[in-house]
Amino acid sequence: MRFYKDCLYCNKELKGRRDKKFCDPQCKSAYQYQQAQEQPERFYNVVDNQLKLNRKILKEYNKGGKVTVRASVLKDLGFKTKFFTHYWKNKKGDVYLFVYEFGFLKRVENNVEKFVLIMWQDYMMK
């Protein structure tokens, strides 16, 4: 005796096991993707995506190892200073915030907000 019902994704009639929900792996995958899109984004994903974006922006603008960039340039691209992975304090007392291996320090020069961008160095571990 067979039980029939419809695929949760494409609504085709199912044949086979009683507890079968999808007609094939493609429908199962498409259904799960659709369900994930309808749910609000998880906090972890929001943070992870912002960290990835921040790293990408810092990497793009720090080709020389140490550069200064107007803050508005980075912020216009979606850079958010509240998202960082760790920090490092130099001997002068400046605190650089890092997104993985790319660091930034906020400065104000001539009433213009800027970021000094640096790369993580081995001596910073100590």
84-113 pLDDT per residue, tens: 999 999 999 999 999 999 999 999 999 999
Taking the model in full, what pTM does it have?
0.70
Report pLDDT digits (tens) over 18-66: 888 999 999 999 999 988 888 877 888 899 999 999 999 999 999 988 9
For 22-58, letters b (16+ CB in 10 Å) and e give: bbeeebeeebeeeeeeeeeeeeeeeeeebbebbbebb
* CA pair distance 115, 90, nearest whole angstrom: 16
Give the amino acid at 74. Answer: L
Q: Which token pair is 41?
A: 């984004």
d(CA 15, CA 118): 61
Average pLDDT, integer, range 66-71 = 96
Q: How confident is residue 5, by pLDDT bands cut at 50, 70 and 90? A: confident
What does the alpha-carbon distance between residue 103 and residue 86 come to, in Å, rounded to a whole number? Answer: 9
Cα distance between residue 126 and residue 96, in whole Å: 15
Q: Per-residue pLDDT for 3 more than 80?
A: no
| Cα–Cα distances in angstroms (integers) from residue 87 to residues 44, 46, 94, in the given order | 20, 21, 10
pLDDT at 19 (0 to 100)? 86
